[in-house]
Amino acid sequence: MKTEFTTFDVIKILKTDRERLRVWINEGFVVPSIQKATGPGTKHLFSREDVYRIEFFRKLCAAGISRSEAARMANDIKAGYLQKHSDIPIPTEPNYYVIYRKLKVDKKGEYIWETEQYFFGRIDETRKGEVFAMIEMFNYDFVYIINFAKIIKDVDASISNL
């Protein structure tokens, strides 16, 4: 199975616009982990996990999260940040990424994020109740649930059609 992907491959896999991906790379929102192009004749090379993170990043942006925040969240997964800063062990096959956010009004009368929490892991029948209990208990204004298992499944299906 293929393990390295060029920019052209990523465009085909994710069915995204070449210019959009180029901007994300140039602005540092998306970073290839295998090889960064260094000049003429060189190519960006992405791992399969990079492609998953790019699709995750894209879904976060589509949900209205800023590109800089989406990139931070995608990089947190890459860096293992969530594993290191969570009392919930991340299973080897996480299936959901949940973001809880609460707004508050600042001194100027504008909304700003007061709190933000992440959960990245397996949500099964026993965990669903915990997710909804948190939403209720902390009265979050926004909750984003990204089906990470579907991202992996869709990306893998597109890769197999290359």
Cβ(75)–Cβ(83) under 8 Å? Answer: no
Q: For the whole prediction, is pTM greater than 0.85? A: no
Q: What is the mean pLDDT of residues 7-29?
A: 96
Q: Which two tokens mark 125?
A: 């029948």
All domains of the chain in start order, with CATH: 4-160 (1.10.1660.10)
Mean pLDDT lowest among 33-42, 43-52, 122-131, 147-156: 122-131
Residue 91 confidence (pLDDT) above 50:
no
Give me the pLDDT at residue 54, please: 96
| Residue bearing the bigger pLDDT, 18 or 135 | 18
Would strands 142-147 and 96-105 be described as parallel, antiparallel, or unpaired? antiparallel
CA 141, distance to chain mean position in Å, is 20
- What are φ and ψ of residue 114, in 5° steps? -90, -45
Residue 14 confidence (pLDDT) above 50:
yes
| Residue bearing the bigger pLDDT, 155 or 111 | 155
Q: What is the mean pLDDT of residues 26-54?
A: 94
Confidence of residue 27 (pLDDT cuts 50, 70, 90): very high
